[in-house]
Structure 1
């Protein structure tokens, strides 16, 4: 008997453990080792810093639970992109894909790769800054390695995420326990007069949240791979309710540990707060924190590559990016063209920059699109309450998060307008100039057909099933 040919499609292999590792594994990256000092420069006090870390965890939890409902109503991979497409239309979805594919994900990957390289190379250049060329070369190798792993096998990628997540929790536990020991010894130098000197300006609070929320980035990671998640209506909310509270508790304990060993001023002027903590608390073993930060960032980069490549894949499948990016490898069933594309753009933007400024701009655009997605959820709750949904949050939850998103987008602009935000806004609007002729009116059909056929044969990829 001849069996019907099976259409290619991504294989659902992400269970609860894999889902938790994808969320927590990406959340615990370079942020907790890099942003506490930049955040402290804005808010200026230990008490306010810890308060913002806690509030950020609650905000991410509420946002992620809202996204979990979207994931059970719209059971497609792609995260924000697919939700905006289904609720706000093709133009806004294209603009999101345009920003994500060319700016947000590649620059995020480049920052993480540079963080890994900086920490790894610093072991060989103790006492002096490592050469920029060496750092960039190592970062490029890291990007190529992570891309290769993700192109090879989904199970391998998930397995690496799980093992590195275990290492991350061990490292954070060491920092937390070390801080508790310092507290019991009565040497909590940074926690005395906790709220003294707090900067209460709207701009400072907004910037502090930007830096803190960068460390929590990854809470929506599982929504990018819904089609590869077994029973997403169950896995999505459960993974969120396990991963985010766990990460929040660890982040609070780690920051208490930092402040137990350092004053706020010492944190502000530290180039790598975890390494400074290690030198103070672990003494001769302080170098271990450099390795820990590198491994943590590698796990985060691996997880974000896995999920981020799916956004390009889904956007191409919907006709918003070149067709080649919507194809999967005929044997490995991984979206290798989309992953390779992300790698190439990441290598192009692999230029050392101002970490704090890049994070602020990412947060500005990120929360703009988060607000757009949450508006779509509120619309579905009010206008289409009968849609089947295996999981639901009270409507007050997305409303509160939407208000927070509006604050995070507008607060920096109103309190301290800067040209950078104008440039980002103009770049977002430039997507319209590309969308109208190329996507809406399709003025140049078949422009990339020959290149698509060549790459399809060279990469051994084929189109996927468009169901769901």
Structure 2
């Protein structure tokens, strides 16, 4: 008697626009609005900080191209877990996902949520520091709401992701255009002796790279939902 083997499949509801917003919306988070000051203070000069940002962008671009290749060769959701499972075995994959779930992802999500909370409550505490309890409550509520939305519907989560990406791109455009306007107005004093005071010790360079790469964090998130892409062999390559 023949039996049919049924397999649980994820719905392919994520298109190219949703995939692009998934990456861009994750990368353009709270990091880019906070870390530039830490990169500059760590490396010590505007010129060197621009070099750090350029190097971080190159590193992420090369890593993204590698992930685009992995996403087409191993078209399964799960990201690093699936790649380690297919290449290094179950033990290494389990060790990675165990530390990822218990340490890496919660710590990263907490940092992003706290940064988001600081911006949300800032208008209500003008001229003073917001209480830590309020920040933690707002951050916790944000995490819970986003978790519920992602559990409810991929389509709804994608819509929210696209809207948030547009808002963040507009905010970035305001900052960039404001800087360009200042340059045309003759405010170029920061570029005079731009490498003066650069910290060349390994500790300063390492901290600057850490802060810069943290701002680029999220470039690999699309590979976690490969099985939910409508055309993964096309969307993955075009996004990266």
Q: TM-score, normalised by structure 1?
A: 0.49
Aligned-partner Cα distance in 1 for 2:42–2:133? 31
Confirm whether residue 142 of structure 1 aligns to residue 142 of structure 2. Answer: yes
Q: In the alignment, which residue of structure 2 is the partner of 1:58? A: 58
Q: In the alignment, which residue of structure 2 is the partner of 1:85? A: 85
Q: In the alignment, which residue of structure 2 is the partner of 1:421? A: none
Larger radius of gyration: 1
Q: In the alignment, which residue of structure 1 is the partner of 2:212? A: 212
Aligned-partner Cα distance in 1 for 2:211–2:231? 34
CA distances 1:299-342 after superposition (whole Å, capped 9, x unpaired): xxxxxxxxxxxxxxxxxxxxxxxxxxxxxxxxxxxxxxxxxxxx
Q: How does 1:94-243 map to 2 (within 5 A)?
A: 94-240=94-240
Aligned-partner Cα distance in 1 for 2:38–2:76? 36
Q: How does 1:282-321 map to 2 (within 5 A)?
A: none
Q: How does 1:250-261 map to 2 (within 5 A)?
A: none
Aligned-partner Cα distance in 1 for 2:191–2:150? 43
Contact 2:43–2:49 (8 Å) recurs in 1: yes
Partner SS state of residue 78, structure 1: coil
Aligned-partner Cα distance in 2 for 1:200–1:111? 28
Aligned-partner Cα distance in 1 for 2:163–2:111? 22
Instruction: Summarize the Cα distance change of 1:7–1:92 in structure 2 as closer, same or farther, 3 Å threshold.
Output: closer
CA distances 1:203-225 after superposition (whole Å, capped 9, x unpaired): 22222111100000111111111
Give structure 1 stretches of 5+ with no counterpart. Answer: 241-468
Runs of 4+ in 1 over 6 A off after TM superposition: none
For this pair of structures, how many residues does the alignment match? 237
Aligned-partner Cα distance in 1 for 2:47–2:210? 17
Confirm whether residue 16 of structure 1 aligns to residue 52 of structure 2. Answer: no
Aligned-partner Cα distance in 1 for 2:189–2:30? 25
Aligned-partner Cα distance in 2 for 1:5–1:205? 55
Measured on the aligned residues, the alpha-carbon RMSD in Å equals 1.5
CA distances 1:133-179 after superposition (whole Å, capped 9, x unpaired): 11111111111111111111000000111111111111111111111
Partner SS state of residue 149, structure 2: helix
Q: In the alignment, which residue of structure 2 is the partner of 1:29? A: 29
Aligned-partner Cα distance in 2 for 1:144–1:63? 31
Partner SS state of residue 124, structure 1: helix
Aligned-partner Cα distance in 1 for 2:133–2:202? 39
